Amino acid sequence: MKAKVKIFIADDHPIFRNGLRQIIETDSRLKIVGEADNGEQAISALEDLEVDVAILDIDMPQMDGFEVVRLIKQKRLSIEVIFLTMHKDERFLNTAFDLGIKGYILKDSAVTEIVQCVKSVSEGQEFVSHQLLGFLINRARNATELARKQPQVNQLTPTERQILKLIGDYKTSKEIAEQMAIGIRTVEHHRANICEKMELKGKHALLKFAVEHKSNL
Amino acid sequence: MGIVKVSTRLISFFVLFITLSLATGFALDPNSAKTLTDNQFLKKRWTTEEGLPQNTITSMLQTRDGYLWLGTFGGLVRFDGIRFTIFNTANTPALHSNRVMALYEDADGMLWIGTETGDIVREQNGSFEIFKTGDGSSNNVVLSFLSDQRGDLWVGQTFGIWHFAAKQSNAATFYSFNQGVSSIVEDGAGDIWLGTGGSLIRWQNGNFSEYQTTKNDNIFSANVIQKDSAGNLWTITGKGVGRFENGEFKLLLENSLNQTRYLTAITPDKNKQVWFGYYESVYKLGESGVLDKYDLSDLTKGGIRSMMFDREGNLWIGTNGDGLIRLSPRKIKTLSTIDGLASDEITTIIEDSEGKGVWIGGVGLTHWQNGQKTIYKVENGLPANRITALRFASDGTLWIGTLGGLASLKDGKISVYPASSTFRASVKTIFEDSQKNLWFGWQGGGLELYRNGEFKTYKTENGLIHNDVRFITEDRTGQLWIGTVGGISTFKTICAMCDVPESIEFTNFNSQNGLSNNFVRDIYEAEDDTFWIGTYGGGLNRLRNGKFTAVTIKDGLGDDFISRILPDGRGNFWLLGNRGIFSVSRQILNDFADGNTQGLVCGSYGAADGMLSSEGNGGNSPAGSKMKDGTLWFPMIKGVTIIDPKIIKPQSLPVLIEEVTLDREELDTHSKIVVNPGQENLEIHYTGLSFSKPEQVRFRYKLENLDTNWTEAGTRRIAYFPHLPPGDYRFTVIAANSDAVWSDSAAILEITVLAPFWMRWWFIVIVVFFFFGLLAFSYQFRLNHLERRRATQEELSRHLINAHETERQRIAAELHDGLGQSLLVIKNRSMMGEMSATGAKVSLEQFKNISEAAAHAIEEVRHITYNLRPYHLNRLGLTQALEEMIEKVADSTPIAFENRISLLDDTFRKDEEVIFYRIIQECVNNILKHSNASQAKIEISRHERDIFVKISDNGQGFVPKEDNADPSHKGGFGLIGMAERVRMLGGTHAIESSPEHGTTVTVKINLSDK
């Protein structure tokens, strides 16, 4: 028997949290190990607790879901994150996926989708609410379009793609180096390679490209 | 009185011998001395009546500045010919006695004053100081001064002489004599000579010794000693008048009357003649030995006390108790019945054509030749005694006009021309022209031509301007000029060979042509094609280039009645008028007529100059003639006046500022006059020092910087300047003497009128600064006020906008967190209910309905929340929020949006981000709502120091109003809100809009103050 999936819930609405707990706890393989009602509590708890999947609301006091995710990534916590949010928003979805989130479900359909989502995510699969599938298709199409418009994208190595994404998140070379645990000279080297492959010239061309296409890489 | 004794007790008797040569002398009784007549001198006397403080003049001198100084027993007097200025113990602290005994001017121009009390006082530039105080006793009366070539000062006193080394009062030696030292002179060798009561004393080689001639004849026992301008020493002694020659005094004039009389003063004049006063007479001893006497007994009984010549040659005589007398050399000669003329009233004068003297018409005709006279009257064959015209014809005939008709005199024979049928009162003028025609002008009878024994008359009916003809002359072109009582007629003279014409074509001039008066008495043609016309009542007229210009009394001419114009060949006209004879420079007349000078000054001669009458007698012709010797002879109501024009000489006439008063307070005339604010009435008293006819000295002055022209002051000696405006001025005054000769020097006074403080430059500067300061202040104040108001308004707007935003956020949060969550719960619960297997089908259906309704409500909440507050802003940053907003808009409209947005995250504070967002949103909404555009472009670029926004569309545009605060404007609150928001971010914006080019909104936000 597989170990129970340890779940952490962060949401600032107690009633909704309660409902969510009831639903999750109906499944015996899922176990809620902690709860928080704001972002800051959440990140500190996540650091202490052993959590497999964190279900985070995006709108939270003190620190929003995006920020919590960034910190999780920064702290290299091996936690999968699911955004459970009211925002039916393509931009949020893209941003979330750019941040490496695996699940994005709307609170509207939490009852029906959360358990499946947690399971999928805990198994390394991505899951989004069915209402958002259209956005996901857009995203894929955009990536394809980019690849078609700029076939060079396919030449980028995974490391280069990751660096490009981080550039798109307005990270400096130093920040990228820290996050990827590589030397700053290496980052510079990768940037140069990216520019060469993508035929980017000029000071801001790389940054602009990265920002425009980070969701499509 | 000791001093009087010393200076007057000189000679007992006089027998006056004239020593023609030094070897042979002869005596002359002074009573037989030739008496000088009034023809040589004019005399005038001033006494206390005329302003002298006292009538005894002890001493006198003319200082180099030109003033006459008089010592009297009533103080020291300064005289300018008109005014006596008195310095006495009352007004001059340095003077301790009013009895001034001696005066002297040294080489430095210092005036030395000796008093009866022994004080030695000196004066320079109007300030007096005591040099040495006497003991007040009569033993120390100061009698004489000398400053010698070494600069030492000698002061003669009652019983000796002071010798001051180089005029230092503290280094003095007194030499005692038992006689008063009344005069001191230095000879060329540097010896000092003292005239004393007893003997002549000489200072030689540091010693005094009594002078003796080589004959030791002791003739020089009582002395006055003087030096003349040539350096000769003269003395008057008990024996006579002596002169120092070849090392020894020689007696020139021996006193042989053996009478005890006083000889008072001796004055050598410029011509090496010596003048001395002897009781009440003045004697002149000429070098040729002639002794002239001039009797003053009508003017003085007390006798002569002091004498001197001034620089103009006037002899001044101070008397004992009878005041001051001036003897002026007579410049004008006269002839009258005293001299043997037929009458005192003179009508015409003409020089003999053969140089044999002068013919003088009056009541009877006198031929005057070298004092010999021949008189012609009715008894000698003249038609009448009264002569009205004289003229020599070229054949030597003297034509004589009389009140009774015409006569001629040739070779001593008088011919009378019988009266013709025409009316003939008297011939007023006779003229022979260049064609030898004789012309007669008749009083009332017209013009008559006489040729070859025939007379022909031309009158007004023939074109003559008037029948009363007074003057006829011919110009160089052969034109005859007829002066009448009614104007001037001219015509071309009739040639000698031509027949006598029946009528003549006259060209006439009168007052209608500009002549100042029609009564013409003389016409003079000058060399410069100019005619000068003397009129009876209209002054002098100049006719040049057909234009008459009058000069009259008001212009400075001596008279408006000009009967005769005689040029003197020296550039002057001499004019015979009713009020006298006048001289005037022809150049000045022309300058005046040309408008180059404002006024003119005439020399004026009359009774004061010794003329028997000032009134000219100008009704006949010629009324005066210039003789070959250059003298001018004029007929007067009484006598002939003979003037030698050479009497007019350039003469130095010192002009001085005497006194300056400001609001009646006297100021120092030697320094610059400063008029302070509040002081107003400036009076300048000036004087011109001419002593010949001081009452005729004329002045003109100019205050430079105020006047451009000279002010003709006439004889006025005060200039008044009330209320001078602030500034620097120079007062210049010049003077002309009685001959109208202007001084070449001027008296100058610098005057500064200070502006009151409110007219000074610094005050004006301060006021101007103050004014501008005030202006700037009030402007700043107003600006601040507006700024405050604006700030308040902005604050309010900001507050409103912020409050609005906060409220939206609050509502959005409430909706999202409250209502939204509740709805979510409802939806999920209903979904749970729906999923529950236990429920009835109806219930399940209900759950489904509830779930769907909740989903709908949730969607609504989402929509409302988003509209209230773009949640992307907080979560994804400004850039994405803007992109999202624009995308949303773009998705909902056919307008093609193109956007280029720089990264703006972390550029603004959170509260500012919303504001910026709203600005862009407003622009986008406006495009959406109003533009009807097909394309829109949004550029937001971030630069190092600012953010630049350009949002443009290709829509229909609108007309942006300057005053976009008008809420009725199409943009309404949207644009106002946008403007307010831009201002809140510290930015500027501009809206350009036109139907052709759509609308472009630009916003620039400066980041440097972020």
Minimal Cα–Cα distance from A140 to chain B, Å? Answer: 19
**What is the pLDDT, as a whole number, of residue A143?**
77
Report the candidate in B604, B631, B628, B602 with the shortest Cα–Cα distance to residue B616.
B604
Half-sphere exposure of B559 (CA within 13 A, CB side): 26
| Inter-chain residue contact B876 with A110, CB threshold 8 Å | no
Closest-CA distance of chain B to residue A127, Å: 19
Query: Is the CA virtual torsion B425, B431, B433, B437 positive or negative?
Result: positive
| Rounded Cα gap, residues B933 and B925, in angstroms | 12
Domain-located, residue B491: yes
Q: Answer yes or no: is B616 within a domain.
A: yes
Q: Are residues B182 and B298 in the same domain?
A: yes
pLDDT of residue B274: 80
Instruction: Give the position of tokens 């209320």.
Output: B723
Give residue B12's pLDDT band: very low, low, confident or very high (50, 70, 90): very low
The answer to whether the beta carbons of residues B366 and B373 sit under 8 Å apart is yes
Are residues B297 and B220 part of one domain?
yes
**How confident is the model at residue B222, as a pLDDT?**
55
In a domain, B846, yes or no: no
DSSP codes joined into one string, chain A: -PPPEEEEEE-S-HHHHHHHHHHHHTSTTEEEEEEESSHHHHHHHHHHS--SEEEE-SS-SSS-HHHHHHHHHHTT---EEEEEES---HHHHHHHHHTT--EEEEGGGHHHHHHHHHHHHHTT--EE-GGGHHHHHHHHHHHHHHHHH-GGGGGS-HHHHHHHHHHHTT--HHHHHHHHT--HHHHHHHHHHHHHHHT--STTHHHHHHHHHGGG-
Share of chain B above pLDDT 90, in %: 38
Q: What pLDDT sits at residue B3?
A: 34
Q: What is the pLDDT of residue B481?
A: 96
Half-sphere exposure of B897 (CA within 13 A, CB side): 25
Which of these ranges, A103-107, A110-114, B716-720, B773-777, has the smallest mean pLDDT?
A110-114
Angle at A97 between CA A95 and CA A101, to 5 degrees: 115
Structure tokens at B871: 């949640």
Answer yes or no: do B396 and B322 share one domain: no
Interchain CB distance below 8 Å, A86 and B876: no
In this predicted structure, what is the pLDDT of residue B10? 30
Gyration radius (Cα) of chain A, Å: 18
CA–CA dist A175, B886 (Å, integer): 31
* pLDDT over threshold 60, residue B947: yes
Count of structural domains, chain B: 4
Measured between alpha carbons, how far is B274 from B286 in angstroms, rounded to an integer?
7
Residue B862 lies in a domain: no
Class of domain A5-136: alpha beta
CATH number at B892 reads 3.30.565.10
Question: What digits encode the pLDDT tens for the residues B508-549?
Answer: 999 999 999 999 999 999 988 899 999 999 999 999 999 999
Does B388 score more than 90 pLDDT?
yes
Give the per-residue pLDDT at B32: 52
CA dihedral B600, B606, B608, B610 (to 10 degrees): 140
Domain edge (last residue) among B759, B788, B810:
B759
- We report the CATH number of the domain holding residue B694 as 2.60.40.10
pLDDT in tens, B135-178: 877 778 999 999 998 889 999 998 889 999 887 777 888 998 88
Q: What is the mean pLDDT of residues B898-920?
A: 83
CA distance A16 to chain B (A): 6
What is d(CA A68, CA A57) in angstroms, rounded to the nearest whole number? 10
Minimal Cα distance from B865: which residue of A? A87
Where does CATH 3.40.50.2300 sit in chain A? 5-136
Q: B905 vs A170: CB contact, 8 Å cut-off? A: yes
Instruction: Using CA atoms of B779, B780, B784, B790 in order, give the dihedral in degrees to the nearest 10.
Output: 50
Neighboring chain B residues of A23 at a CB cutoff of 8 Å: 828, 832
Look at residues B759, B785, B819 and tell me which one is the last residue of a structural domain. B759
Tell me the three-class secondary structure of B444-498, residue by residue: CCEEEEEECCEEEEECHHHCCCCCCEEEEEECCCCEEEEEECCEEEEEECCCCCC
The CATH number assigned to the domain holding B438 equals: 2.130.10.10
User: How is domain A150-216 classified at the CATH fold level?
Assistant: Arc Repressor Mutant, subunit A (1.10.10)
Confidence check: pLDDT of B551 > 90: yes
**Together in a domain, B539 and B643:** yes
* Most A-contacting residue of B824, B903, B905 (CB-CB within 10 A), to test interface: B824
Of A12, A87, A108, the CB nearest to B827: A108
- Angle, helices A205-213 vs A184-198, to 10°: value is 80
* Residue among B298, B292, B278 at smallest CA distance from B36: B292
Q: Is B782 exposed, middle or buried (0-12, 13-18, 19+ CB in 10 A)?
A: exposed
Say whether both B203 and B145 belong to one domain: yes
Q: Chain B residues contacting A, CB < 8 Å?
A: 816-817, 820-822, 824-825, 827-829, 831-832, 835, 855, 858, 862, 871-872, 874-876, 880, 883-884, 903, 905
How far apart (Å, rounded) are the C-alpha atoms in residues B100 and B117? 9
pLDDT at B336: 92
Contact A19 B828 (CB under 8 A): yes
Do B102 and B233 sit in the same domain of this protein? Answer: yes
| Prediction pTM value | 0.60
**Mean per-residue pLDDT, B441-466:** 90
If you average pLDDT over every residue of chain B, what do you get?
Answer: 84
Does this complex have an ipTM over 0.85? no
Which residues does chain B have within 8 Å of residue A12's beta carbon, measured at their own beta carbons? Answer: 817
- Is the pLDDT at A102 greater than 60, yes or no? yes
User: Could you tell me if B296 and B353 lie in one domain?
Assistant: no
Find all residues with CB under 8 Å of B371, minimum gap 6, and list them: B339, B340
User: Does one domain contain both B60 and B133?
Assistant: yes
Beta bridge partners of B413: B410
- pLDDT the model gives residue B561: 95
Can you give the pLDDT at residue B622?
94
In chain A, CATH 1.10.10.10 sits at 150-216
Does one domain contain both B37 and B167? Answer: yes
Cis preceding linkage at A61, omega within 30 = no
Q: Is residue B755 part of a domain?
A: yes
Residue-range definition of the domain harbouring residue B704: 655-759
Highest mean pLDDT among B235-239, B284-288, B343-347, B1001-1005: B343-347
Residue of A nearest to B853 (CA): A108
Sheet strands side by side (includes B603-605) = B562-567, B572-577, B580-585, B603-605
Q: For position B440, what pLDDT does the model report?
A: 93
Q: How confident is the model at residue B945 (pLDDT cuts 50, 70, 90)?
A: confident
Interatomic CA distance for residues B64 and B153, integer angstroms: 19
When scoring A107, A135, A170, A213 by the number of chain B Cβ atoms within 10 A, the one with the most, hence best to mutate, is A107
Q: Which amino acid, B659?
A: E
B533, B515 Cβ separation under 8 angstroms: yes
Q: Do B858 and A170 touch (CB under 8 A)?
A: no
B672 and B558 co-located in one domain:
no
Starting at the earlier edge strand, list the strands of the sheet with B248-254.
B224-227, B233-236, B240-245, B248-254
User: What is the overall mean pLDDT for chain A?
Assistant: 84
Query: Do B632 and B715 lie in a common domain?
Result: no
pLDDT of B432 higher than 50 = yes
User: For B739-779, what is each residue's pLDDT tens digit?
Assistant: 888 888 899 999 998 887 777 778 888 888 889 998 988 88
Which of B330, B360, B387 is the C-terminal boundary of a domain? B330
Residue-wise pLDDT tens digits, B17-70? 222 222 233 344 455 556 655 567 888 999 999 999 999 999 999 999 999 999
Please state, in angstroms and rounded to a whole number, the distance separating the CA atoms of residues B319 and B301.
9
**What is the mean pLDDT of the segment spanning B864-882?**
84
> For residue B16, what pLDDT band results from cuts at 50, 70 and 90?
very low
CA-CA distance, B578 to B584, in Å (whole number)?
A: 16
A131-135, B432-436, B687-691, B696-700, range with the lowest pLDDT: A131-135
Please tell me the predicted confidence (pLDDT) of residue B435: 92
Nearest CA in chain A to B830: A111
B573 pLDDT more than 70: yes
Identify the pLDDT of residue B17: 27
Beta strands B315-319 and B304-309 are antiparallel
Q: Is B542 exposed, middle or buried (0-12, 13-18, 19+ CB in 10 A)?
A: buried
**HSE toward the beta carbon, residue B61, CA cutoff 13 A:** 17
Q: Give residue B478's pLDDT.
A: 92
**Domain check: are B736 and B640 in the same one?**
no
Closest-CA residue of A relative to B861 is A86
